Structure 1
Amino acid sequence: MSAAAFPSRPDRVVDGPTPKHAQLREILRHAVERELPPGSPIPSERELAERYQVSRLTVRSAIGKLVEEGLLSRVRGKGTFTASRRMELQLYLMSFTDDMRRRGLEPTTEVLGTTTEVPPAATANALGLAEGAAALRLKRLRRADGIPLAVERGWYHPVRVAGLFELDLTRSLYAQLAEQDIRLDHAWQTVWAESADKETARLLGIRTGSPLLVFRRVSSMAGAPVEDMTSWYRGDHYQVTMQLDRSSPDSGNPAKHGGTR
């Protein structure tokens, strides 16, 4: 994409109290957020330097900040592109498969491992298991249109979903469980932020230390806990929006349902 074709306001980078890299960053931000569709290439460092009469170091600094914010992404050997818009993570009980299809995306699942083992104390408490009792453990990688979006590590009650490992674990578990009249109808969910460790970064195709949104969900059927799932979502593809009302907090206590934060 040539600099001449790059849409932007008729701004100039000028001498003044605001550093030039900050001025250029805001010019580029305006173009990225309001004028360019996701996946659009932006001009090269050389073209931007010539267009705005600044050094390539200034351009590199402005672009680097927007990459850190997730508005731009660098592709080795190809250039810099506007990033995909972040998807809203819906705060209601829905499977990943249904959520992606609702957005018009094709979900796929890779099973990374299944075991039967004794869970951590917090999970045993969440699932209502006796101390030392084993649970079913499932780890999966979730993709949409081929892009890795989330790593899931779930624990399941060994009696209430005893046939879990006999299901097609590459498909929606909720849909298959519903076919067996196991319908998850309630969940407590806790959200926090983490930096990606080496293994999670490798699975998601991102750098170690990249921001992640982490969701821990304890789901139940008719009051009986069935699933304790923790999901690590890519921070560059997701955001969470909540409506807050000024009112007294509910008397419910998430901690007794397995919440940890």
Structure 2
Amino acid sequence: MAQRSAADTLLDGPTPKHAQLREILREIATRELRPGSALPSERDLTLRYGVSRLTVREAIGQLVAEGLLVRVRGKGTFTALPRVDVRLHLTSFTEDMRSRGLEPETAVLGHAELPPPPDTAEALGLAPGQPAYWLTRLRKADGAPLAVERGWFHPGAAPGLLDLDLTESLYSLLDLHYGIRLEHAMQTVLAEGADAETAALLGVRPGSPLLVFRRISTARDAPVEDTRSWYRGDAYQVTMPLRTQAGSTGRPPEEVAP
């Protein structure tokens, strides 16, 4: 660690040292570090600025509360990723990230041919006990983990799918190898706290807020996929255009007496 300089000295005075340190760390996080970069350790900060670890934790905690920094258990404190605005149209993660100027990366965590849960069997039009393709992947952008996908695919629509390079865009693989272009999907969005396994994969604390998307997609009116994706709540947001119903005046409905 470099020797402390005069610029690193916190002053005694009306402004508490944790507030002074908070602004220094804000400057470092916004001007010197890229999103997703690690902040110096608490020990290094105590030595550099000549303050207690309690002061360091107070300063960091305030920036975490603001959303500028994130703590990752066992790894340290990192600058927050900018939120990605989820686009509610039928496109792949790979295509979506590239359209934003981000480099997508996919790690295959597991795959198998198994009987799916009853709700998925129903969604895919499979008989009870009939197997489907199961696939779990970790999706990253510019090296940062953003989402965990756990999906089921109809084996009749894409026989041999699990033998292909599953680090590629699945939608591109479906088009290239099977001539399948997904035309319609029903997507449901909900919020969940991260379980221990998903939290570890995404580099967040267990219980951290996640956006969960369930997408059931079809091609030529036949079901192809039933996929659930868990997105980091600190990195994603959803924006939706809204319109009044056709023929509506745009005014709120009148109250009807019971």
TM range (shorter): 0.7 to 0.9
Offset at residue 66 of structure 1 (A): 3.6
Corresponding residue number in structure 1 for 2:121: 124
In the alignment, the residues of structure 1 paired with residue 233 and residue 141 of structure 2 have an alpha-carbon distance, to the nearest angstrom, of 15
Q: State the Cα deviation string for residues 68-115 of structure 1 (Å, max 9, x = none).
A: 453223589998664221111111111111111112222121111111
In the alignment, is the contact (CA less than 8 A) between 1:45 and 1:60 conserved in 2?
A: no
Letter in 2 for 1:228: D
Corresponding residue number in structure 1 for 2:225: 227
Letter in 2 for 1:189: Q
Q: 2:231 aligns to what SS in structure 1?
A: strand
Corresponding residue number in structure 1 for 2:179: 181
Q: State the Cα deviation string for residues 157-212 of structure 1 (Å, max 9, x = none).
A: 12111221122111111111111211111111011111111111111222211111
Corresponding residue number in structure 2 for 1:140: 137
Q: 1:187 aligns to what SS in structure 2?
A: strand
In the alignment, the residues of structure 2 paired with residue 73 and residue 120 of structure 1 have an alpha-carbon distance, to the nearest angstrom, of 35
In the alignment, is the contact (CA less than 8 A) between 2:73 and 2:205 conserved in 1?
A: no
Q: 2:94 aligns to what SS in structure 1?
A: helix
In the alignment, the residues of structure 2 paired with residue 62 and residue 127 of structure 1 have an alpha-carbon distance, to the nearest angstrom, of 51
Name the count of aligned residue pairs: 232
* Gap runs ≥5 in structure 1: 6-11, 15-20, 249-261
Corresponding residue number in structure 2 for 1:256: none
In the alignment, is the contact (CA less than 8 A) between 1:183 and 1:221 conserved in 2?
A: yes
C-alpha root-mean-square deviation of aligned residues, in Å?
3.7
Corresponding residue number in structure 1 for 2:199: 201
In the alignment, the residues of structure 2 paired with residue 76 and residue 205 of structure 1 have an alpha-carbon distance, to the nearest angstrom, of 8
* Distance change >3 Å, CA 144–CA 60, structure 1 → 2: same
The worse-fitting range, judged by mean Cα deviation, of 149-158 and 139-148 is: 139-148
**TM-score computed with the length of structure 2 as normaliser:** 0.72
Letter in 2 for 1:197: D
In the alignment, is the contact (CA less than 8 A) between 2:93 and 2:169 conserved in 1?
A: yes
Q: Percent identity?
A: 58
Q: 1:148 aligns to what SS in structure 2?
A: strand
* Distance change >3 Å, CA 37–CA 197, structure 1 → 2: same
* Distance change >3 Å, CA 225–CA 69, structure 1 → 2: farther
In the alignment, the residues of structure 2 paired with residue 75 and residue 69 of structure 1 have an alpha-carbon distance, to the nearest angstrom, of 16
* Distance change >3 Å, CA 78–CA 119, structure 1 → 2: closer
